[in-house]
Amino acid sequence: MSERVIPLVDQRTAALAARIPAMPVAPTGLLTDARGRPLRDLRISVTDRCNFRCNYCMPKEVFDKGYPYLPHSDLLSFEEITRLTSVFLGHGVRKIRLTGGEPLLRRNIEALISQLAALRTVDGNPPEITLTTNGSLLARKARALREAGLQRVTVSLDGLDDAVFQRMNDVGFPVADVLEGIDAARHAGLHPVKVNMVVKRGTNEHEILPMAKHFRGTGVILRFIEYMDVGATNGWRMDEVLPSHELIRRLRAELPLVPLEPSAPGETAERWGYADAHGQHDPALGEVGVISSVTQAFCGDCNRARLSTEGRLYLCLFADNGYDLRGLLRAGASDQDLASALGAIWQGRSDRYSELRASLAPDLGQAKRRIEMSYIGG
């Protein structure tokens, strides 16, 4: 019998120092990194806890009852998150995504959303505020989230077959309850609702077509995500990746699809619209998307920064360490100091792991300690 070896990795080691540069970096909204990429999207992890144990994210073998989660005092408070977000907005961020863990497990998350909704971009506009959830608590919280100022939600759902889905979430959570949450989000006005399906070859690839047919014409945007080599605890193997081009080929054999233009600069999803009898996109039927996170690198226009639960800034989903903004914040740094520190960090950013993946030795990527999906969000 073959054994599955899961390395135990803890990101909570010494962070990189976030230093205040001698030359201030003004928050003009025009900040770019070493490759000319602007800062437009901020993803904020509000908790390191989750009530699912998906094998590609928080496998039960690692995240068991004895796992040492962060103490509450280590987490950024809502006021600290809001203040740091204001600094990010000054440098050009326009979209905020709340992640986890499972963000709806963070108590009074609606209060944080209300605070973030009161902020403004450098253009004087409200930021776009979205949230990614497993959907388990969405049915009871959707309306309150919308009233607090949340605009959209993305729900993770890896299949409609209960046996498959429960095997993947590993806690026996039923599909019907997630679908109820999606309906509640639609009725609350959190639209368009997006559904993310991680496709793992040999596990749930047979659910691709049923998922597409289920959400076609509902107003829900379904996106298929290639199984990613994030972190070191999910036992990732390249032969379990179903390339997006093959997925689209399978869909087009059953459902007419036409390619669509990106909806925004830096968008990671390749969009495909359902076609009518004349071969034209029918908006009433909606669209699907594929995120080719393994087979088609999108580093070239990546404009996303990630803020961890305890205030570390990560410049890439595949990073191995983050910059300690919480230390500056709690040491009494001014907003200008924070803006200059953030600006200097982003100006030095040159990350492009996905572009380099194919050139790495087979064991190098796994040997390098990287942050976990559960710690920093997607």
Q: What is the pLDDT of residue 298?
A: 75
Tokens 């969405």 label which residue?
Answer: 138
Q: What CATH code is assigned to 38-376?
A: 3.20.20.70
Q: Is the dihedral of CA 41, 259, 208, 286 positive or negative?
A: positive
What is the value of pTM for the model shown? 0.89
Q: What is the pLDDT of residue 310?
A: 94
Tokens of 284: 């009433």
Q: What is the pLDDT of residue 361?
A: 47
All residue ranges of the chain with pLDDT < 50 are: 1-11, 361-367
Helix, strand or coil for residue 253? coil
Q: What is the pLDDT of residue 3?
A: 42
Q: What is the pLDDT of residue 360?
A: 55
Domain boundaries, the chain: 38-376
Q: What is the pLDDT of residue 230?
A: 61
Q: What is the pLDDT of residue 68?
A: 87
CA–CA dist 240, 157 (Å, integer): 18
Please check whether residue 85 is in contact with residue 96, taking contact to mean a CB–CB distance below 8 angstroms.
yes
Q: What is the pLDDT of residue 365?
A: 45
Q: What is the pLDDT of residue 231?
A: 56
